[in-house]
């Protein structure tokens, strides 16, 4: 993803929009007041759990990648992270105390089965205890099967470049849905296959660190095939739950009104959005993708697209920023960062309208689009604890404006059922290690002290107000 840092406003900047005095309260006519609109927070296993060598857990590609010098900022790894594996009970109590209705988490594939596919009971029991506690607290559970932590033994056999990995993923989905049936409200097969394919196999920024466009398109095909193969197992084993997938999407805008730049913006969205959504909802890859990457068509076998495009109960959408682009003068686009715009600690432009525009566009483009959940939205800032408090002003404003954009999309007719803040806690931010803080709860990685940020306090206040209004 883009990482331009020309203008960065942090939580303490006097130029940051909004102020701590502003209540986190939507307008009276906002859809967010509806009690059936799910408000939750999200995490991912490798980013928070730690305990990478405990209770039979195998190595993942992220254990290997983060242990490779130069791959992760400051040499950070997920070996300890937020120590959630040992502190999960207190973390769930904290989550419930804030009043969130939903929690999106992921399962670590290397923790629950060995290389021969034999269940690892200690790993399975961890998730059973976790999900049982969440249900006891009345929290709706969204469980992602694959949030990037592929077992290393599968990568050693080719990873997502090997078609067999899709079938091993289906076996994993079958096991998990048999073991955890009744504790999961919604299953997501994959988180952000674009990132797994492009960042992992296309440009090498993420594990396993390969860089070839042809690798990216083939890896993406096998990821989506794995998704399609997993859905029938999920339906058979846990029929009461919802089944879906989570896609990250990006808004691309043109740097000028020229035909070349307008086409560049279209191609950006083909690569970031249609590459994933067209196979799922149209049963085909967008041909414009291969204008960008000539000769990179994946090997697709008979029946694959029917498997991939089977109906879903929901679509998860992750959105963070927009990218301004221009024609590269050949067959693609190049980023042209805008000056003077608000950016986050990641260098990503804050652009709430992009979320609304994408959602309304998807509604128009995909006739069979299922209900949508915003499964990730949030921002990183350089948060610090001062006198026991964290005043994350920019995050408060960011979330308010993006929730308003979601409400606008709902009023435009998009069927959006809920919104998850990324993230519950500061965590291991992949190739950026622990420097970038996305949480509404601050983590001191030395002491593992949890401190609620002002954003968490204001969200909890709104949830309490909404609950009181509904009763």
- Where along the chain do its domains lie? 31-470
- List residues forming the annotated binding site: 47, 147, 191, 320, 422, 429-430
Question: Taking a C-beta distance cutoff of 8 angstroms, is the pair 134, 141 a contact?
Answer: yes
Residues facing residue 422 across a β-bridge: 42
Q: Write out the binding residues for substrate.
A: 47, 147, 191, 320, 422, 429-430
- Size of the chain in residues: 471
Asked if 437 contacts 455 with a C-beta cutoff of 8 angstroms, the reply is: no
Fold for the domain defined by 31-470: TIM Barrel (3.20.20)
Q: Are strands 372-376 and 322-327 parallel, antiparallel or unpaired?
A: unpaired
**Tens digits of residue pLDDT in 381-436:** 999 999 999 999 999 999 999 999 999 999 999 999 999 999 999 999 999 999 99
- What stretches of 85-238 adopt beta strand conformation (E)? 102-106, 140-146, 186-191
CA distance 83 to 171: 28
> Which residues are identified as catalytic?
192, 376
CA-based nearest residue to 364, from 414, 416, 406, 407 = 414
For residues 53, 55, 60, 64, the Cα torsion angle rounded to the nearest 10 degrees is 10
The predicted-structure confidence for 155-205, as pLDDT tens digits, reads as follows 999 999 999 999 999 999 999 999 999 999 999 999 999 999 999 999 999
Give the per-residue pLDDT at 15. Answer: 36
Distance CA 353, CA 260 (A): 23
The residue to which tokens 């209900």 are assigned: 371
pLDDT for position 23: 64
Per-residue tokens: 54 = 């405990």
pLDDT of 189:
99
Query: Which segments of the chain have a pLDDT < 50?
Result: 1-21
- Look at residues 260, 254, 230 and name the one whose alpha carbon lies nearest to residue 243: 230
Tell me the whole-structure pTM to 2 decimals. Answer: 0.95
């Amino acid at each position: 993803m883009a990482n331009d840092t020309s203008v960065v406003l942090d939580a303490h900047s006097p130029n940051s929009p909004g102020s701590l005095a502003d209540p986190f309260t939507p307008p009276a006519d906002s859809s967010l007041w509806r009690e059936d609109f799910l408000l939750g927070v999200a995490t991912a296993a490798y980013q928070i759990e730690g305990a990478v060598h405990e209770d039979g857990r195998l190595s993942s590609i992220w254990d290997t990648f983060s242990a490779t010098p130069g791959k992760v900022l400051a040499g950070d790894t997920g070996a300890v992270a937020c120590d959630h594996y040992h502190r999960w009970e207190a973390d769930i109590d904290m989550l419930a105390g804030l009043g969130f209705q939903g929690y999106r988490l992921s399962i670590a594939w290397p923790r629950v089965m060995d290389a021969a596919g034999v269940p690892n009971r200690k790993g399975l029991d961890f998730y059973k205890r976790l999900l049982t506690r969440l249900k006891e607290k009345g929290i709706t559970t969204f469980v992602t099967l694959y949030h990037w932590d592929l077992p290393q033994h599968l990568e050693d056999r080719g990873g997502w470049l090997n078609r067999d990995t899709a079938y091993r993923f289906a076996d994993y989905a079958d096991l998990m849905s048999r073991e955890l049936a009744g504790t999961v409200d919604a299953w997501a097969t994959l988180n952000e296959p674009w990132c797994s394919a492009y960042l992992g196999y296309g440009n090498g920024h993420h594990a396993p660190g390969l860089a070839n466009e042809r690798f990216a398109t083939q890896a993406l095909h096998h990821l989506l095939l794995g998704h399609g193969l997993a859905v029938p197992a999920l339906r058979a084993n846990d029929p009461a739950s919802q089944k879906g997938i989570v896609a990250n999407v990006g808004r691309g805008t043109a740097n000028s009104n020229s035909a070349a730049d307008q086409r560049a913006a279209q191609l950006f969205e083909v690569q970031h959005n249609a590459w994933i959504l067209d196979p799922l909802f149209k049963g085909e890859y967008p041909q414009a993708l291969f204008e960008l990457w000539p000769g990179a068509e994946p090997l697709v076998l008979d029946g694959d697209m029917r498997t991939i495009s089977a109906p879903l109960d929901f679509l998860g959408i992750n959105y963070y920023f927009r990218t301004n682009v221009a024609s590269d003068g050949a067959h693609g686009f190049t980023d042209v960062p805008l000056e003077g715009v608000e950016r986050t600690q990641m260098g990503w432009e804050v652009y709430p309208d992009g979320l609304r525009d994408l959602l309304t566009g998807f509604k128009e483009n995909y006739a069979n689009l299922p209900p949508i959940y915003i499964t990730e939205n949030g921002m990183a800032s350089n948060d610090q604890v001062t006198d026991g408090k964290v005043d994350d002003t920019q995050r408060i404003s960011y979330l308010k404006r993006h929730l308003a954009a979601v409400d606008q999309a709902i009023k435009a007719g998009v069927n959006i059922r809920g919104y998850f803040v990324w993230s519950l806690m500061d965590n291991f931010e992949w190739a950026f290690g622990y420097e970038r803080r996305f949480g509404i709860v601050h983590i001191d990685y030395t002491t593992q002290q949890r401190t609620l940020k002002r954003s968490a306090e204001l969200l909890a206040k709104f949830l309490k107000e909404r609950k009181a209004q509904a009763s």
